[in-house]
Amino acid sequence: MKASRGRIGQYRILKSEESLSKHLLETVLFSKTTLFAFLDKYTSVVIKPVFGPEEIYVSSKDHTFQITSNDNVKIVNEKEDLYHHLVCNEITQKYHIIQPRLLRNPFQCYITVHRSVESDEWSLKSVTGKSHSKFGKFFYLYLYKMIKNVVIRSAQKLGEFFLQCNTIVFEILFMNKRIWIADSVLHFPISKWSQYQELTTLIDLSRYVPVTELLTEVTLKNFLKKYNEVIIKPCNGQHGVGVLLITKKNSVTYEMRTGRKTLTKSNFDEIYRYIKYNFLSKKDYLVQQKVPLVRIDDCPIDVRVITQKCNSEWVVTGKLVKVAAKDFIITNMAQKLLTFENAIRDLNIPHLNNNKLEAKIDKICISASSQLEQNNPEIHLIGFDIGFTSQGFIWVIEGNYKPDLSMFYRLDDKKIYRNISKGKQG
């Protein structure tokens, strides 16, 4: 069954289920007609692209209209002026939807549901607060059974149409004694959020995966309070684009680093507004604890491990170490590439056993490959970024389904590259 992956397509699928339709906010494609009709019916509306996280709020009061977008506020007096401003200055994509905006709702969160394969039952995996609320946790516990019932039934319905999607995030509101689905976002296997759900399904693997959450105001504040340093990165992205390091320097100062650029803000609200405007308004992001990586010449390193499906079994066919460029936070901008053996020698950590560490990394990557295959049966090659500490603890930072293999060719020893190429041919 083919269906649009966008917001309007998902809304129509859920709307077709009578038991779910009562939980849906009225949703239509944006146009001048629908905008005017909604403003006659509702005091506040939200406009969203069919794809993407951007939100534009429009509210009416005393015969004027207020437009709020990324904390920028514009006031206009006429509907025609309102529409003209929206299409000329705010609307960024070809198609948008419009919904009523429920104000003063006491509870608002994102619920993630997941299944490993199409035939599995959906399960509720995580609850992410969207904004701070004194009563949020109380409402969630009070409404847990009702929320779970609604999101599982919704996932089942969407899952019938999107067979390759095994992770869905629902935005849930509570208003007028009713659970409302304000939004639903499909996370296909390429999404790092879907990958995280799959890797943490196994207890034996989950201990090696850094704690990760959807990025919201709530999760960013909580992670910084707990870890002081966190990484934020897009759910869908490659080559380190959009990855940032956020550091809580003290009780009032926050620092953000991307590449060699550093930005300092004097309080949490400032740093969050900056992130929201420049990153969250464009893509869905994750927040992750920053893991302590060993360093060579004071530059962090990680291990790129290639696993391949050969003769129905996952095997490790290549491994190298990336040394981050000076002052860079991630190894995607590598100043040099080393064989695993040479990197261990350069680390000069006497108690680090090369053979045991390598064997453990291989075992973890093969286990992770088998698990990710459940979520994405088409994959035959994965490039894992693996970090480890001076004590030998291993971190599975992420897996890449289209890893850059040219870095292996840049090694002086071409045997590893030839081994990977041989595995691809098999």
384 and 343 co-located in one domain: yes
CATH number at residue 334: 3.30.470.20
Q: 3-state DSSP call for residue 351? A: coil
Q: Which domain holds residue 359?
A: 295-425
pLDDT score at 68: 94
For 179-260, where are the alpha helices, taking DSSP H only?
Answer: 192-199, 203-206, 217-227
Q: What are phi and psi of 324, to 5 degrees?
A: -60, 150
With respect to residue 203, please indicate whether it lies within any of the assigned structural domains: no
Identify the DSSP state of 24: B
Q: Is residue 49 part of a domain?
A: yes
Q: Which whole-number Å values give the CA distances from 302 to 47, 307, 320, in the listed order?
A: 42, 16, 9
Residues 415 and 328 grouped into a single domain: yes
Written as six digits, the tokens of 38 are: 């909604």
Whether residue 123 sits in one domain with residue 95: no
Question: How many Cβ atoms from other residues are within 10 Å of residue 418's Cβ?
Answer: 14
Q: Which two tokens stand for residue 247?
A: 């550091």
Count CB atoms within 10 A of the CB of residue 19. Answer: 11
pLDDT score for 106 = 63
* Cα dist from 386 to 97, 210, 269, 293, 304, whole Å: 41, 11, 33, 10, 6
Structural domain contains residue 196:
no
Pair (108, 83) in one structural domain: no
- Given 71, 100, 129, which residue is the final one in a domain? 100
R_g (Cα) of the chain, nearest Å: 24
List, in sequence order, every beta strand (DSSP E) within 159-290: 167-175, 178-187, 212-214, 229-234, 244-248, 254-258, 261-265, 285-289
| C-alpha–C-alpha distance, residues 288 and 275, integer Å | 15
Gap between the Cα atoms of 271 and 269, Å rounded: 6
Cα–Cα distance, 275 to 246 (Å, whole number)? 10
User: Are both 154 and 243 inside the same structural domain?
Assistant: no
In a domain, 197, yes or no: no
Domain check: are 92 and 108 in the same one? no
Of 65, 100, 135, which one is at a domain's C-terminal end? 100
- Say what the pLDDT of residue 361 is: 97
What is the CATH number for 38?
3.90.70
Domain total for the chain? Answer: 4
* pLDDT, position 3: 66
**In 276-382, which ranges are continuous DSSP H helix?**
340-347, 354-375
Residue type, 237: G
Are both 96 and 111 inside the same structural domain? no
Query: Are residues 307 and 412 located together in one domain of the fold?
Result: yes
pLDDT by position in tens, the chain (length 426): 566 899 999 999 999 999 999 999 999 999 999 999 999 999 999 999 999 999 999 999 888 999 999 878 999 999 999 999 999 999 989 999 999 998 766 678 899 999 999 899 999 999 998 876 666 666 677 788 889 999 999 999 999 999 999 999 999 988 777 899 999 999 999 999 999 999 999 999 999 999 999 999 999 999 999 999 999 999 998 777 889 999 999 878 999 988 778 899 999 999 999 999 999 988 999 999 999 889 988 888 999 999 999 888 999 999 999 998 876 766 666 788 999 999 988 888 888 888 899 999 999 999 999 999 998 998 999 999 999 998 889 999 999 999 989 999 998 888 999 999 887 765
Long-range contacts of 67-75 (CB under 8 A, 24+ apart): 70/276, 70/277, 70/281, 71/273, 71/276, 71/277
pTM score: 0.93
Instruction: Please check whether residue 11 lies inside any domain of the structure.
Output: no
**Residue 183 to residue 124: CA distance in whole angstroms:** 16
Work out the angle at residue 340's Cα, subtended by the Cα atoms of residues 335 and 341, and round it to the nearest 5 degrees.
Answer: 120
Using CA atoms, how far apart are residues 33 and 258, in angstroms rounded to an integer? Answer: 43
Query: Are 397 and 199 contacting, i.e. CB atoms less than 8 angstroms apart?
Result: no
d(Cα 263, Cα 390) in Å, to the nearest integer? 30
266 shares a domain with 241: yes
- 14, containing H or E segment: helix 7-15
Helix axis angle, 354-375 relative to 192-199, nearest 10°?
110
Asked if the structure places residue 39 within a domain, the reply is yes
Distance in angstroms (rounded) separating the CA atoms of residues 111 and 124: 7
> Which of these three, 155, 188, 221, is where a domain ends?
188
Residue 135 confidence (pLDDT):
60
355 domain residue, yes or no = yes
φ/ψ of residue 66, rounded to 5: -110, 130
